[in-house]
Structure 1
Amino acid sequence: MADQREQKLAKLLVEYSVALQKGESCLINAVDIPISMTEALIAAVYEAGAFPLVNVWNQRLERAMVQSASEASLEKWADVDTYRMKQVDAFIGIRGIANVRELSSIPEKSNLYGKLYNTPVHMETRLPHTRWVVLRYPTEVMAMQADKGTLEFEDFFYKVCTEVDYQKMADAMDVAKKYLDTVDSVHIKAPGTDLRFSIKGMAFIPCAGKMNIPDGEMYSCPVRDSVNGTITYNCDSTFHGHQFKDIRFVFKNGKIVEAYSDDNALIKEILDVDDGARYLGEFALGCNPGVLHPMDNTLFDEKIAGSIHVTPGNAYEDCDNGNRSSVHWDLVQIQRPEYGGGEIYFDGVLVRKDGIFVHPELRGLNFES
C-alpha cells in the first residue's frame, strides 16, 4: 500500500501536472519503482475519472533489449510503442535509478537506441502529442549521488517535489516572461565561459510543475547559427552510462567545433551521432530554491537555483530553432559564488549576477526556499 507521501505525489502528478480529465487515458511508465507508487498512480488516475494504462519496466531489461538490438528490432519496438503513445492523452514517466552505469559498456548501441527508439517514441510523439510529466523516484543510488543518507534524501525528495507552491511559481514566471520574450542577445560570462548568442523571436517557456517534478526553470532556444564563444560546465553529467566531467565546448556560428571532457573520444562520438547534435536546442535559467547542489541527475540539476543549462541537440517544438537530433543533453553550469560565480547579460544589460536576478523584471524569480 502506498504511503501518504506517495499518494500526495501521485495526486500532484495526475491533478496538476497532466491535469487529467474524466474519460481521458494516461500511460504510466513505471521503471524500477515500488509497486506501491504505481498503485498510488493508478488510484489517482481512476479518482480523476480517467483510464490508466501501465508499463512496468526496469534497467536490466532495458539493457537486455538494447545490447543485442539491431536497427530492425529497434524500429519494430519503436513502432509498437509509438502506436501506444498515440492512443493516450497523457504520460507519466517515473523512474528509479538502480544503476547509473547500466549502459556504459555499450555506447554504440546506446546511441542507436536513442536515435531509433527514443527519437520517434518520445521526441517526435510523446513531447508534441501528449500532456506529459517525467520524474525520478528516490533510491539509495540517488541518495549516494546527492551525498545524503537514504532517509535524509527521501525527506529532501518529497519536500522539493510536493511541498512547493507551483501555482505561485507559475504566476511569477508569467510576469518575468513579459520581459524575457523581448530579449535578443545573450552574453554569458563565468570561469572558462564567454558565450554569446541570439534568442530573437524565441519565447521563454515557464516550467512550474507541468512537465517535470521537481520543477523551476524557464527555457528558450538560441537562434541556431548565432552561437559563438566558449562554455565550461561545472556539473558532472551521466550520458548513456558514462559520467562526463569537465565538459567544455567551443562554438563557431552555432556549431560545436571543439569538445573536451574527461573522455574526449566518447564525447565526440556522441556529438557526431547526427548533424544536429553539435548545435544547441535549449537555453534555460534554473530557479528552484530547494535544489542547490548537483547530484548528477538532470531532472534535479537543471533546476538548481542560480544555474543555467545550455543544451546540445534537439529543440522543443514550442520553442523551436529548427534543430533536430536524437540527442538532447541538458548540461548545467551553476553561477552562485561557491561555484565560481557568473554573469548573464540580456541586450547588454546585466540581469543576473552570481546566481541572483538583479533586473527589476526578473527579481520575482529569486524564489524563497
Structure 2
Amino acid sequence: MDPRIREHAATIVDHAVDLAAGDRVVIQLPPEAEDLAVALYEQCGDIGAIPVWLTHSDRASRAYLRAAGEEYETPDHQLAFYEETDAFIIARGGANVTETSDVPPANNAAFKRAYKPVQEERLSKRWCLTQYPTSGHAQLAGMSTEAYQDFVWDAVGLDWDAQREFQAQMADRLEDADEVRIAAGEETDLTLSVAGNHALNDYGEKNLPGGEVFTAPVVDSVDGEIHFDMPLYRQGREIRDVRLTFEAGEVVAHSAGRNEELLTEILDTDDGANRLGELGIGMNRAIDQFTYNMLFDEKMGETVHLAVGAAYPETVGDDNVVNESAEHVDMIVDMSENARLEFDGEVVQRNGTFVFEDGFEAA
C-alpha cells in the first residue's frame, strides 16, 4: 500500500473528524478505494471506534435513478441508521466519472428532494469529504494516473495549522464585512450582503483538501450579473459558461454554453435552488491546476465560487434566514486577471493576489 494512503487516513481520523473510542463511524467509499478503507479500519481499531463501510457504486445509482423515474420516497431506514451515527467519512473516486450522464435531470432533482432529510442528518454530524485518486478522475483532469496521485496527496497533505493561520487573515476581514462585490472581466459585477453572517475558515476538516474561507449571502441581497468562466461537472455532465442575473437575491435570467437544460433543472429543483447559499474564496496555493473536480477546483487561490441552493446553517447569523434547498451547486469565477474582490469598498484581492500577500500593490 502507498504509505501516503495511511498518512491520509491518519489525517482524516485525527484532524478532520477527531474520532474517539466508541464513536460509530460510517465510511462510504467506492470499491476502487479499498486501500483507504483498510487504512481507516486500522485507525478505527487502534482508537476503539466502530466502523461500517458502505460501498458506493455510481453504476448502481445510475440504474436506480433511471428505473425509478421521478417518484421517490425518503429512505427512512437510511435516515434511522444515520441518526445512530457519530461521524461520516466519504471519499470520491469512482472508475467512470460520467457514469450518471444519461440519468434525466428531472429524476436527479426528484431524488434530491426525497433524500434531503437524510442529507441534513448527515451534515448535522461530524463529517469529512475527501478524494481517492483513481484513473477515471486522472483522465478527467487530463493527467496520468501517477501525476494525479501526486497532485491529490500533495493537496491533502498540507501543514493545516499553517494553512489555518494564512486563511484567518481573510476570514477575519470577511467576518467584519457587510457588503461584498465581485468584479471580473466585462460580464461580472455582483454585489451581496453578508451582514450578520459568519465567515468560516476551512483548513482541512469537513473537506480534505481544505483551503477556502466561506460564508452565506443574505438571501435577498444579491444583485447583478456574473459569468462563471470555469466549467463544472455535475451529474456526469459538463456545464460550461454559466451566466446568472440576480435581482433581490433571485436568479431572474440564466444561460449556459453547454448543458443549459441541466442548469435549468438544477435551478428549478425547489424554491431555494435559484438563490445563493454560499460565497467561497479559494486560498489553497497547492492546488494550481483545474481538474474538473469541485472539491479541488473551488479551493484554487485565484478563484471565488458561489453556490446556488442550500446554505450551511453555521454560516448564517441568528437574525438572518437560512436558504434551504435539496441542491448545493458550486460554480467558479477566475479572478486571476482584470478582477477584484471588495469588502465594503476596500479591495481585498486584485488579479488573484490577496491584500496581505507580497505583490498586491503591483497586481
Q: Same fold (TM over 0.5)?
A: yes
Paired residue type of 1:273 = T
Of the three residues 106, 109, 112, the one matched with 1:108 is: 106
The aligned counterpart of 2:151 is 156
Distance 1:176 1:260 in 2: 32
Which runs of no fewer than 5 residues in structure 2 stay unpaired? none
Q: Which amino acid aligns with 2:283?
A: C
**Structure 2 counterpart of 1:307:** 303
Aligned equivalents of 2:94, 2:246: Cα separation in 1: 33
Residues 94 and 263 (structure 1), Cα distance of their counterparts in 2 relative to 1, 3 Å cut: closer
Q: How far is 1:120 from its partner? A: 1.6
Instruction: Return the alpha-carbon distance in structure 1 between the equivalents of residues 49 and 259 of structure 2.
Output: 47
Partner of 2:315: 319
Q: 2:196: which partner in 1?
A: 201
The yes-or-no answer on 1:237 pairing with 2:232 is: yes
Cα offset, 1:70, TM superposition: 5.9
Report what 2:332 is aligned to. Answer: 332
Distance in 2 between the 1:238 and 1:298 partners?
8
The one-letter code of the counterpart of 1:25 is R
- Equivalent position of 2:49 in the other structure: 50
**In 1: Cα distance, 2:31 partner to 2:238 partner:** 21
The residue number in structure 2 matching 1:250 is: 245
Counterpart-to-counterpart distance in 2, 1:35 and 1:100: 18
Whole-Å separation in 2 of the counterparts to 1:246 and 1:72: 31
State the Cα distance separating 1:71 from its structure 2 match: 6.4
Aligned to 1:260: 255
Query: 135, 138, 141: which one pairs with 1:146?
Result: 141
2: CA distance, partners of 1:263 / 1:30 = 28
Deviation string, structure 1 residues 300-331 (Cα, Å, up to 9, x no partner): 11101111111100111101342111110011
Equivalent residue, structure 1, for 2:89: 92
Tell me the matched-pair count.
Answer: 352
Task: State the alpha-carbon separation in 2 of the partners of residues 179 and 304 from structure 1.
Answer: 19
Partner amino acid, structure 2, of 1:159: D
Deviations 1:320-357, CA, capped at 9 Å, x for gaps: 342111110011112113xxx41011101111001111
Range with greater deviation from structure 2 (50-59 or 280-289): 50-59
What is the TM-score with the length of structure 1 in the denominator?
0.91
Q: TM-score, normalised by structure 2?
A: 0.93
Measured at CA, do residues 72 and 244 of structure 1 come closer, stay the same or move farther in structure 2, by a change above 3 Å? closer
- 2:184 corresponds to: 190
Secondary structure of the corresponding residue to residue 167 of structure 1: helix
Q: Distance in 2 between matches of 1:24 and 1:329?
A: 31
In 1, the alpha carbon distance for the partners of 2:97 and 2:148 equals 17
| 2:279 matches 1:274 | no
Give the drift of 1:30. 1.1
Structure 2 residue aligned with 1:356? 353
- For the Cα contact (< 8 Å) 2:278–2:306, is it kept in 1? yes
CA contact (8 A) 2:230 2:333 kept: yes
Alpha carbons of 1:265 and 1:177: their partners in 2 closer, same or farther (altered >3 Å)?
A: closer
Partners in 1 of 2:288 and 2:86 — Cα distance? 34
| Preserved contact between residue 32 and residue 95 of structure 1 (Cα < 8 Å) | no
1:170 Cα deviation from its structure 2 partner: 1.6
* Structure 2 counterpart of 1:287, from 261, 278, 283: 283
The offset of 1:165, in angstroms, is 0.5
Is residue 114 of structure 2 the alignment partner of residue 127 of structure 1?
A: no
Contact 1:97 1:136 in 2 (8 A): no
Aligned-CA RMSD value? 1.7
Structure 1 range deviating more: 277-286 or 136-145: 136-145
Structure 1 pair 32/74, CA: closer, same or farther in 2 (3 Å)?
A: farther
- Measured in 2, the distance between the counterparts of 1:64 and 1:307 equals 36
Amino acid at match of 1:111: A
Structure 1, unaligned runs of 5 or more: none
Task: Give the match for residue 12 of structure 1.
Answer: 11
- Distance of 2:93 and 2:58 partners within structure 1: 9
Question: In 2, Cα distance between the equivalents of 1:70 and 1:260?
Answer: 26
Report deviation, 1:157: 1.1
Secondary structure in structure 1 of the residue aligned to 2:279: strand
Matching of residue 218 in structure 1 with residue 216 in structure 2 = no
